[in-house]
Amino acid sequence: MRREYQFFVYILTNYQKTVLYIGMTNNLIRRIIEHKFGFGCAFTCKYKLKYLVYYEPYGYFNQAVAREKELKGWNRNKKLDLIKKNNPLLLDLSEKIFRESGYTNESLKNIAEEIRRSYKNRSLANRSG
């Protein structure tokens, strides 16, 4: 039996909207929480990329990877045009996604704590291994 998956290509920016980051994940909520709390990506931490301004869902991994590569090849203006078609003010879409998925601030903090522990455990395992 074939398992159903969902993948997402997403774009983050910083508060000043000066830097764009394109990523791909199979769990958009978890990945956005990781970015917001500073886990998992040195580039997004360095430039404080915490604002989800665009995302697209895909049913297949290869489709999402191909789209991510395509978008990464675009110039900044073309990326902004794409974002502004659905999000003209470049608002942070993560709060809406969290709310629609039933997450509260408290549950998001709990998830962030779980993620922090998993990163800490991975780090300890890598040191001892």
Tokens of 6: 């969902």
Helix axes 28-37, 105-128, angle to 10 degrees: 80
Q: How far apart are CA 114 and CA 35, in angstroms?
A: 14
The residue ranges of every structural domain in the chain are: 7-128
CB 55 within 8 A of CB 94: no
User: What is the mean pLDDT of each successive set of 10 residues along the chain, which is 129 residues long?
Assistant: 79 97 96 87 91 97 98 98 98 94 88 84 58
Which H or E run contains 7?
strand 7-13
At the topology level, CATH places domain 7-128 in GIY-YIG endonuclease (3.40.1440)
Q: Identify the sign of the CA torsion 37, 38, 44, 47.
A: positive
pLDDT digits (tens, 9 = 90+) for 15-27: 999 999 999 999 9
Q: Determine if the pTM surpasses 0.75.
A: yes
Q: How many CB atoms lie within 10 A of CB 30?
A: 16
